Structure 1
């Protein structure tokens, strides 16, 4: 097995939305905002080469939306999904499986491409993995999340016949288990990978950045913030006690981190890249 960090560039989101009820005077220490109160984030994906499988976790925002859509998110940076794959000698057609942690546009938008008037899977040889509870939640969205669940990102996966569901309680593969969190959205999947004697937990939106480690630092986007806090309490204790490595999808600077107990509660122990840890 080999793991690769796939950088896809940066985007911006409102700082207040990203930190919920936490005052700006606190969160701006780790995530400074610009004059429009927007903070910079990244879409950092994980590529797993495991035997005959080449597995990508999430697909970032993609490029099929119109100019008006992208004007809200200020995409920038030189990194691209295709460029990052090529860096390691891969092409998107080599991907055999894509685990979609959840179906918000910034996590699954790149799954679909525009071909003239048609919307087609951007990874023609891949199986796309979600779960039944989250799929139903996404195709019948509540008003709070409707703007994040874009039908053009979701329905073409099913229409192509490439959609598959992970069954709760079953392992994805011998080296990959799927954990769940329900506070950010219903049945968000957190892939847990066994790699070189370490456990790596892909955090998706349970922990967007190291700036979100304190328990109350819950995003305003979460549909069940109290559930998120309970889940984080449980996960944080498990992470510290078992020395998990956390892979961070949205942190603009830190790709991975570990946690530790302190007098203030669970806090950052160390931040590093996959390359720093495993060479």
Structure 2
């Protein structure tokens, strides 16, 4: 495959994975426009791993705290971090159920730009709803984690943004902005790992000399752009402009629907 296309897709993945505008949806659109085809969703999973590393790097202090809590569960700060880990794993149950039971149907939708267009419009409405959310400093509860998990499961559909769905859900539930961002980004880690494991066989089967170079270039591009995108989301949340991403989702959604009908 052509390396520059892989880099472009990697940059797109890194940016759109964390901005609330749907990485999978944009990859479907761009692959259709550039006539790039991959077996299943292997390329998406490969660059998702790059963005996973970006999450771990940005939130490395929290990841280190959770790791220490696992190794030393009786330490003073261990209880808080172990509880956070429990909620992160709990929030991934809905995605695991949907991914294992409806995997083939979800993969088929990656060939449907019209589904992407509709999903982007819906994502826009949900993101816009955060404009009316009033966050508090209350603690994250089990029900919050489950509802955020349901939102993440919905984001398995191309065009539904993972960060848009999960962060919007956390904000609508009344959680603080910084707490919402950290939890929702960390919730994505097990989901991305699980998807990578399920698709690794397809990735290895389809790997050829040219593809290895392209995949590597896409991986690096996704990591760098993913890191920058996370930082941007944290900034946007601090200045309370998260809902403004809805306008972009609506614009792209309308464009995609008009394009598919032409």
User: TM-score normalised to the size of structure 2?
Assistant: 0.27
1 or 2 for the larger relative contact order (CA 8 Å, sep ≥6)? 2
Structure with more of its chain in helix, by fraction: 2
Structure in which a larger fraction of residues adopt strand: 1
